[in-house]
Amino acid sequence: MQDIQQTNTGFEKVVIFCAPSGSGKTTIVKHLLSVFPQLAFSVSACTRAKRNGEVDGKDYYFISHELFKEKISNDEFLEYEEVYGNNFYGTLKSEINRIWHDGKAVIFDVDVVGGLNIKNYFGERALAIFVKPPSVEVLEQRLRFRSTETEETIQMRIKKAVRELEYESKFEHVLLNENLEIALVTATQMVKNFLES
């Protein structure tokens, strides 16, 4: 069994961005990584196939179903879930240890359930931000604009998004992403305040 180890770097904090797919959380997280050198991205593990341009170990750790289930048995995940029909996604405890030992704070780009689990695990050391799209219609437009999804997966993601939007009240911090520039400025200030606290 692997556990999350304490360090004495002073950066044992986590920043969690979660939202329904298509809300813009990945764009916000990439921006924050370019602004704050003291942040490092937590790379999730997943069992889905690699998309064009994705890099193993940078975008995700792409692993087999068998290995993922073995890691579940060994209690190697901070959180995980099965999404979109038999694909697993999760956060490895070793990833948090790696980042903290590098003297950095962790930033997560995760779905809503995973975000809540991480928030509950870290308590006061976590800043959890729910990124809210202006509407489900706008969310659908964004998903279609990506051109990476089939009609079937778009419909699955929209259904999941409607469910996930109900979790908004469980987060102290909600960031409306109607205007990306404003959302980036707001997110930057929230993270700056948290890291300096």
Residues 34-53: tens digit of each pLDDT: 999 999 999 999 999 898 89
The confidence band for 1, taking pLDDT boundaries of 50, 70 and 90, is very low
| Residue indicated by tokens 């202006």 | 134
Query: Which pLDDT tens digit goes with each residue over 131-160?
Result: 999 888 888 888 888 777 788 888 888 898
pLDDT at 8: 59
pLDDT at 9: 55
**How far apart (Å, rounded) are the C-alpha atoms in residues 101 and 94?**
10
Contact 157, 21 (CB under 8 A): yes
- pTM for this predicted structure: 0.86
**How far apart (Å, rounded) are the C-alpha atoms in residues 31 and 133?**
18
Upper half-sphere CA count for residue 66 (Cβ side, 13 Å): 0
Q: Which residues contact 144 (CB under 8 A, 6 or more apart)?
A: 154
| Domains of the chain, first to last | 14-196 (3.40.50.300)
| Residue indicated by tokens 């779905």 | 111
Helix (H, G, I), strand (E, B) or coil at 175: strand
**How far apart (Å, rounded) are the C-alpha atoms in residues 19 and 38?**
23
